[in-house]
Amino acid sequence: SSTLDFTIARFALNGEFLSMGRPTLPCQLLRNVRFGVNFNKKCRTTAAELLNAQIELLSPYLVFKEDNKSFIHALPVIVKSADQNIKEVLRQQLVRKFFLVDNVSGFKALPIFMNSRFMKASEISVLRYMKSLTILVNVQSGKDHGKIFAPLLIVEYDELTYQDFLDNSDVVIDYKVTFILKDNDIDYNVEVKKKITAIEEI
């Protein structure tokens, strides 16, 4: 197929499995990814929309066919820091899940002066959200020309403050799909294949 077929498993914050199916994410994330076509687009949302969104943990899979049978392959995710380059990113620990928004953990715990307990603040102080998503697809060459290794998802998070909610600030999500040839980036192959193998052995 000329289009990569992704599916998403959704989990609640407590780990409970919710559903599995085609991505229905903002910005058409993980939808209509055409083989060999690099692209970059920016999507706009608001602080209020993120604040009201439901928090879910997302586990990405690639769907493919072999001998007329359908299979799914769990995809690795790397969480990138803003100041990291690609080689630093590829040395990081791979994970299985990511999230679009965390509007739960950013509430402060306020002390109750009458005892040693704490209470949850009424207003959120910080909200984490997915600032960017990059799908990195390594294309094989030689006798395996036209085949790919498991795509790698690189996620970068950012934070919104309480003032952003008061202002209902605009928020931009950067979405990229990048195809690279195996021979152009040997380090990518070695690092990622080692890490995927390590995850599958756990």
Q: Tens digit of pLDDT for each residue in 78-98?
A: 998 877 766 677 777 889 999
Q: Is the pLDDT of residue 184 over 80?
A: no
Spatial contact of 118 and 111, defined as CB atoms under 8 Å apart? yes
Q: Measured between alpha carbons, how far is 149 from 151 in angstroms, rounded to an integer?
A: 6
- Tens-digit pLDDT profile for residues 11-27: 998 999 999 999 888 88
Which residues fall within 8 angstroms of residue 127, CB to CB, at 6 or more apart? 47, 50, 51, 101, 102, 103, 106, 159, 160, 164, 165
To the nearest 10°, report the CA torsion of 56, 64, 174, 161.
10
Q: Is the pLDDT of residue 189 over 60?
A: no
**Tell me, what's the pLDDT at 200?**
40
Q: What is the mean pLDDT of the chain?
A: 81
- 198's enclosing H/E stretch is helix 186-201
Q: What is the DSSP letter of 54?
A: P
Q: Is the pLDDT of residue 153 over 80?
A: yes
pLDDT band at 201 (very low <50, low <70, confident <90, very high): very low
Residue ranges per structural domain of the chain = 3-197
Of 1-10, 85-94, 178-187, give the lowest mean pLDDT range. 178-187
Q: What is the mean pLDDT of residues 166-183?
A: 88
- If 0-12 CB within 10 Å is exposed, 13-18 middle and 19+ buried, where does residue 30 land? buried
Closest Cα to residue 18, out of 82, 135, 97? 97
Of 71-80, 100-109, 177-186, give the lowest mean pLDDT range. 177-186
Higher-scoring residue by pLDDT: 201, 47: 47
